[in-house]
Amino acid sequence: MVKFALLLSLELQKLTKFCAKSNKIWHLKYTCTHCGEKTKNFVTINPEDQIKVPKSRGIANYHSRCKFCKRDLTIIVLEPTEDKPVYIYEEHHEEFTKIAVFECRGLELTDFDPKGDFVAISTENGNSFDIDFSDGDFCDFDEDSKALVSVANLKYKFDTVK
């Protein structure tokens, strides 16, 4: 088992407490650590899925078998959970900050598609905004404070964690 943290660098305008929803569907690509086979398409990981892993007593949020070497590949979303949200509070221009942690067996995470299921709150009045990067940067107008809120320049990387 290897734990991978997903780190984001982004610019928040008039927003704070940026986080992924605890039931966020994650879109990831990976490489099989045994044979090096890469996924061509993004796979979806639903933290609410409880999948029994064959030939083990384990439960995972994602299970597949490598097309080439037939090894079992699993992913569990460790963070965020409902009890343990992971927030990014401020503008982090170049600094990468943890937004999620995945426990992986047999694979190494390589790519992340940020579409869907993030939230943040206005620094002006605490209004909550649903954030989706399907169309690139997020931008909205906060009617109450007459301020533009945005999340821009999103970059990501994965780091292994102990």
Given the rule CB under 5 A, which residues bind Zn ion?
A: 32, 34-35, 37, 66, 68-69
User: What minimum distance in Å lies between the beta carbon of 37 and Zn ion?
Assistant: 5
Instruction: Compute the least distance from the CB of residue 68 to Zn ion, in Å.
Output: 5
Instruction: Give min distance, CB of 29 to Zn ion, in A.
Output: 14
Minimum Å gap between C-beta 35 and Zn ion is: 3
Distance CA 63, CA 59 (A): 9
Considering the complex, state which of residue 68 and residue 141 has its C-beta at the smaller distance from Zn ion.
68
Q: Which of 4, 26, 28 is nearest to 102 (CA)?
A: 4
Grouping H, G, I as helix, E, B as strand and the rest as coil, residue 68 is coil
Residue 5 or 66: the one with the smaller Cβ distance to Zn ion is: 66
Q: Which residues contact 63 (CB under 8 A, 6 or more apart)?
A: 51, 53, 54, 72, 73, 74
- Tell me how far apart the alpha carbons of residues 44 and 77 are, in angstroms, rounded to a whole number: 12
Choice between 30 and 118, CB closer to Zn ion: 30
Closer by beta carbon to Zn ion, 66 or else 75? 66
